[in-house]
């Protein structure tokens, strides 16, 4: 009886008000723009929409966008875990600065990042010139796109993994050690299961960010149709021709595919969390 | 710990949003108030929405025009400038940016405004198709011209890499494409199929398709990629002046296109703001001796003969065809070459090589 009451009465009042605000903000910021997107593409008939959305060049650009975003998010998954691990588990001079630097890709205008990365990875750049003799083209290839997406995606992974890692119970690791588990075993069976949900979240965030990324990629990708052209560039090119409906058609397709993919990642995440508990 | 971070983020985000929303509201109200009060009073404000490379030109011209207008009418005029990609600027005006005049890179971008009812019959309002200054497409090569590039034909040689932006995302790049097409057409006695083959071969030599003209210049100049940059003459002259004549040479091809960046008064906006007279004078003065000199000093080809004569060393003579002669209107050109599944798209369809 008393338990039922406890759940009904909340600690803080004001659910109605806060919920109202949340819905208002969500509508203004997310739902209304998205429905405008839908509305814009209704200027097309279904056949025309399908025609635009499945054009060979558009399909090729989806492939580039999704593959590079996935590759970048996957690499960020491992790099991010490593960085978060170092930041949480070790003390070293300059750690706070290092910690702050992680967020810089959030703050930096992506076009600036794109120009800087291109300067580094181009054939005559500091890094690009080292790889050129080996026959590795970094900028103006899919490698370049992936590099740019890694740059803008890394903070997502670090910032989702870091807090969970900080809250991990040291006792469990010690218990495991006293029971005779080796370091590797402790890492694999005690630490990793706890980290799977935040890692998946970080992956999903970095992946989603990479799919829609425009500014940093246009400079480093070379924009060659069928090879290194990303879907957001095609959207821009349609807008340049005043083809609003066509642009929204491509965008809508992109949105639907991303939504399905993110839904899948979310379900995996929920499933892994339930298993871990 | 995690929750704290998250709620902090949410708080920060909503704060930023509130500020942004209120700022948008405030600025919108501000311009409207300005516009209506400016009409009959002593001071007047104009907004010139232009494309990227005209920034320096209009900075100089605005000062000259303001002095001229004050002397003539005793009215103070301040001119604000907005720069960006030509197509993007046209869309901003369509979406409600209160531009009194537009000075863009392509007639197509003003045609789009006409379709939406913002301007009417703009092309015949001023002399020379409403293009007060012109330019052309030239070839910028590295100092000493190591690959010996003389004309368009050299661009499809096996060892040459060409840098040009994507005509679908860059208005300026459409002139580049059309210049090459005009050359091929002339060389092959107006054989369209051969012209298409030439342009297709040309784009096969392009290793990087930048989205805008400045990006392409950076790729060529800073990154050192490619042997030749297809560029507007004014941009090429500026590159040579800014980066040193010891680094680049300009090659004038045997034939090129007359690039006509057009200007127009935005009728819908000037009628609302009551600025038609001054906006009209602003564009007309571009054709005056002073306006033409400023254009020439900023490397645009003047249309006034007396000024052309003064700057004849800066602008060598070459055969120039106009868009109208070879391609017709912008609408037709856009439809045929640059629209979806147009000729430029076909160049990149698999199996076209």
Q: List, for residues A33-85, the tens digit of each pLDDT value.
A: 888 877 877 778 888 888 888 888 899 999 999 999 999 999 999 999 999 99
Whether the CA torsion B106, B107, B110, B116 is positive or negative: it is: negative
pLDDT by residue for chain B (353 residues), tens only, comes to: 445 555 555 555 555 555 555 444 444 433 433 444 444 457 899 999 999 889 999 999 999 999 999 999 999 999 999 998 888 899 999 988 999 999 999 999 999 999 999 999 999 999 999 999 999 999 999 999 999 999 999 999 999 999 999 999 888 899 999 999 999 999 999 999 999 999 999 999 999 999 888 889 889 988 889 999 999 999 999 888 888 778 999 999 999 999 999 999 999 999 999 999 999 999 999 999 999 999 999 999 999 999 999 999 999 999 999 999 999 999 999 999 998 889 999 988 876 55
CA B173 to centroid of chain Cα atoms: 9
Residue in this structure with the two tokens 């020439």, named with its chain if needed: B296
| Closest chain B residue to the Cα of A122, Cα to Cα | B223
Q: How far apart are CA A199 and CA A153, in angstroms?
A: 13
- Whether the complex's predicted ipTM is more than 0.85 is answered with no
- What pLDDT was estimated at residue B67? 95
Residues of chain A whose beta carbon is less than 8 angstroms from a beta carbon of chain B are 25, 29, 52, 55-57, 115, 118-119, 122-125, 139-140, 159, 163-164, 166-167, 218-219, 222-226, 233, 236-243, 246
A243 contacts B215? CB cut-off 8 A: no
For residue B88, give how far its alpha carbon lies from the nearest alpha carbon of chain A (Å). Answer: 7
Query: What is the DSSP-derived secondary structure letter of residue A112?
Result: H
Distance CA A130, CA A120 (A): 10
Alpha helices per DSSP H over B155-261: 171-187, 192-204, 213-221, 233-243
Distance CA B252, CA B331 (A): 28
3-state class (DSSP) for residue B159: coil
Return all residues near B260 (Cβ < 8 A) that are at least 6 apart: B107, B128, B129, B131, B134, B322, B323
Phi, psi of B195 (to 5 degrees): -60, -40
- Greatest C-alpha distance within chain B: 75
Q: Residue B221: which residues within 8 A CB-CB, separation 6 or more?
A: B229, B239, B243, B247, B248
pTM, two decimals, is 0.81
Strand, coil or helix: what is B10? helix
SS3 A192: helix
Q: Which residues in chain A touch residue B112, judged by CB atoms under 8 angstroms apart?
A: 242
The CA-atom distances, in angstroms, between A252 and each of A110, A169, A257 are 23, 44, 9
Mean pLDDT for all residues in chain A: 88
Pick B91's closest partner by Cβ from A55, A118, A239: A239
Q: How far apart are the first and last CA of chain A?
A: 28
Residue indicated by tokens 């990324």: A213
Residues in chain B closer than 8 A to A236 (CB atoms): 169, 211
Cβ distance of A25 and B17 shorter than 8 Å: yes
SS3 B302: strand
Intra-chain end-to-end CA distance of chain B, in Å:
58
């Amino acid at each position: 009886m008393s338990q039922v009451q406890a759940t009904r009465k909340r600690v803080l009042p004001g659910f109605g008000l806060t919920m109202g605000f949340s819905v208002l903000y969500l509508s203004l910021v997310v739902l209304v723009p998205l429905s405008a997107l839908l509305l814009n593409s209704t200027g097309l008939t279904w056949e025309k929409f399908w025609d635009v959305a499945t054009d060979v060049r558009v399909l090729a650009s989806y492939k580039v966008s999704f593959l590079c975003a996935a590759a970048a998010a996957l690499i960020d998954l491992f790099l991010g875990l490593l960085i978060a691990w170092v930041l949480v588990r070790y003390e070293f001079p300059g750690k706070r600065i290092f910690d702050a630097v992680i967020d810089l890709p959030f703050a930096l205008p992506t076009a600036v990042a794109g120009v800087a990365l291109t300067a580094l990875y181009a054939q005559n750049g500091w890094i690009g010139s080292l790889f050129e003799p080996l026959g590795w083209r970094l900028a103006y290839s899919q490698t370049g796109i992936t590099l740019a997406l890694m740059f803008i995606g890394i903070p997502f992974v670090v910032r989702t993994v870091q807090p969970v890692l900080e809250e991990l119970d040291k006792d469990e690791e010690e218990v495991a050690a006293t029971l005779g588990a080796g370091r590797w075993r402790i890492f694999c069976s005690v630490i990793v299961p706890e980290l799977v949900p935040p890692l998946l979240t970080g992956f999903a965030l970095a992946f989603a960010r990479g799919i829609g990324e425009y500014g940093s990629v246009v400079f480093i990708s070379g924009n060659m149709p069928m090879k290194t052209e990303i879907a957001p560039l095609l959207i821009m090119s349609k807008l340049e021709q005043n083809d609003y409906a066509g642009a929204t058609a491509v965008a809508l397709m992109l949105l639907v595919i991303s939504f399905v993919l993110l839904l899948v990642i979310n379900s995996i995440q929920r499933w892994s969390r339930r298993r871990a508990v | 710990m995690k929750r704290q971070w998250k709620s902090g983020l949410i708080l920060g985000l909503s704060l930023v949003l509130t500020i942004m929303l209120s700022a948008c509201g405030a600025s919108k109200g501000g311009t409207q108030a300005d516009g209506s009060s400016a009409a009959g009073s002593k001071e007047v404000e104009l907004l010139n929405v232009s494309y990227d490379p005209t920034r320096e030109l209009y900075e100089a011209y605005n000062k000259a025009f303001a002095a001229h207008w004050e002397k003539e009418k005793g009215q103070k005029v301040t001119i604000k400038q907005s720069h960006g990609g030509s197509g993007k600027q046209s869309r901003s005006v369509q979406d409600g940016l209160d531009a009194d005049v537009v000075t863009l890179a392509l007639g197509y971008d003003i045609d789009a405004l006409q379709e939406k009812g913002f301007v009417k019959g703009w092309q015949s309002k001023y002399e020379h198709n409403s293009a007060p200054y012109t330019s052309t497409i030239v070839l910028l090569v590295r100092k000493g011209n190591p690959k010996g590039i003389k004309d368009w034909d050299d661009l499809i040689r096996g060892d040459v890499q060409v840098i040009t932006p994507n005509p679908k995302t860059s208005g300026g790049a459409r002139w580049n494409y059309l210049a090459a097409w005009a050359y091929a057409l002339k060389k092959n006695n107006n054989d369209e199929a051969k012209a298409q083959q030439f342009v297709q071969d040309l784009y096969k030599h392009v290793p990087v398709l930048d989205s805008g003209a400045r990006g392409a210049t950076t790729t060529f100049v800073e990154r050192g990629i490619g042997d030749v940059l297809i560029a507007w003459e004014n941009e090429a002259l500026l590159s040579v002046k800014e980066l040193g004549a010891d680094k680049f040479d300009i090659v004038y091809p045997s034939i090129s296109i007359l690039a006509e960046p057009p200007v127009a008064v935005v009728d819908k906006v000037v009628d609302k703001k009551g600025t038609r007279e001054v906006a009209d004078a602003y564009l007309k003065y571009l054709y005056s001796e002073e306006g033409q000199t400023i254009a020439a000093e900023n490397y645009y080809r003047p249309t006034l003969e007396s000024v052309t004569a003064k700057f004849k060393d800066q602008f060598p003579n070459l055969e120039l065809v106009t868009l109208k002669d070879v391609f017709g209107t912008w609408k037709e050109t856009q439809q045929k070459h640059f629209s979806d599944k147009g000729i430029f798209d076909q160049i990149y369809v698999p199996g076209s090589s």
